[in-house]
A and B are shown apart, each in its own frame.
Chain A
Amino acid sequence: MKKLLAVLLTAGTLFSVSAQSSETAVIENVNNGGVASLRGITELDTTRQADELKRVIKDRSPIDRDYVYQPPLVPHQTRHYEVSLNANKCLSCHSWKYAGEMGATKISVTHYQARDGEVLADVSPRRYFCLQCHVTQADAKPLIKNDFQRVDSLR
């Protein structure tokens, strides 16, 4: 009985040792080939230190659009604005009911249309999650240089 136990134990340790060595072998093979990407030249298996958080614009006048059909950008903070099954904080100013009184931009009429174009009496569920298209802004440096130009009509 004792012998059997000893054999089992040694087999166990040997197995775990071999498993560990194969794991380290895998990690040694991880290599980014010296290519710098948006996340820098960090090895794939290491976690790069996160960038500093950007400060969101607190509150300003509406931001001009860069192209036709661009969802207007959010020129104010939206921290802790609840958009859930129970409540939609954005609509308490931007809905057609309150926009005038609050001096806010009214949501577009397209938000009352269902997928097949039929007009609904209230905001269409597919348009309910405002921050999916309308985003807050921060003064951040573009990650990649780009030569985007506005169309003539918006210049």
Chain B
Amino acid sequence: MKLILNFWRKLTAPSKAAVGTVLAMGFLGGIIFWGAFNMGMEATNTEEFCSACHAPIVKELKETIHYSNRSGVRAICSDCHVPHNWTDKIVRKVQASNEIVAFLMGKISTQEKFEARRKHLAVREWQRMKENDSQECRNCHNFDYMDFSEQGPRSRKQHSTALASGEKTCVDCHKGIAHQLPDMSDVPGW
């Protein structure tokens, strides 16, 4: 108790230490805090971290082109599911605290429970991508640099019309590209 009181007094009363020392301590503390914060952010962005709960979906990803392809460029969970822009990223991370509750309640702790929630989770993610104009796709697939002459006739037709005019966004057509699909019977376009 006395220790806390003393510490409090030190915080409130002017210090006898030189301004330089206080500043140096501030800078050092700041660096340590910021480093730790960033490390935390990065640690919760790794595939290992995601697969602790979403194990079945990581398994599905392995069959897709975003995991295995000719040139070896690949995307991990956070590339598509966590915004890259700093403020959006923080917002998403705060929302994710709700997902810790889901984890503690074991909402997707078995394959069966996960299958039951697949639709719910997918719809939420499609909605998010639709609202931000598929920003996480566009972080890598930039429309401005698409060479239609390199695309097949089917892709060219869609990309040069609906996507170019902004009438449609990536996720409107490209659903289930990295995961298996939920029941699609009431989804437009399916």
Cβ of B152 and Cβ of A76 under 8 Å apart? yes
Any A CB within 8 A of the CB of B182: yes
Quick check: A80 and B157 within 8 Å, CB to CB? no
B125: Cβ under 8 A from any A Cβ: no
At the interface, yes or no: B110 with Cβ under 8 Å from chain A?
no
Select B177's contact among A60, A80, A92, A98, beta carbons within 8 Å. A80
Which segment, of A2-10, A18-26, A82-90, A125-133, faces chain B? A82-90
Contact B64 A80 (CB under 8 A): yes
Interface size of B by CB at 8 A reads 17
- Chain B contact residues: over half helix, strand or loop, or mixed? loop
**Complex Cα–Cα for A80 and B63 (A):** 8
> Which of B182, B189, B190 has the largest count of A CB atoms less than 10 A from its CB?
B190
A87, B181: Cβ atoms closer than 8 Å: yes
Q: Which of B63, B153, B180 has the most CB of A within 10 A?
A: B153
Give the number of chain A interface residues (Cβ < 8 Å). Answer: 17
**Interface assignment of A58: CB less than 8 Å from any CB of chain B:** yes
A86 touches B63 (CB 8 A): no
Residues of the B chain whose Cβ atoms lie less than 8 Å from the Cβ of A98: 189
Interchain CB contact under 8 A, B152 and A87: no
Give 1 or 0 for each of B67-103: 1 = CB within 8 Å of chain A CB.
0000000000000000000000000000000000000
Which residues of A come within 8 Å of B, CB atoms? 58-60, 76, 79-80, 82, 84-89, 91-92, 98, 103
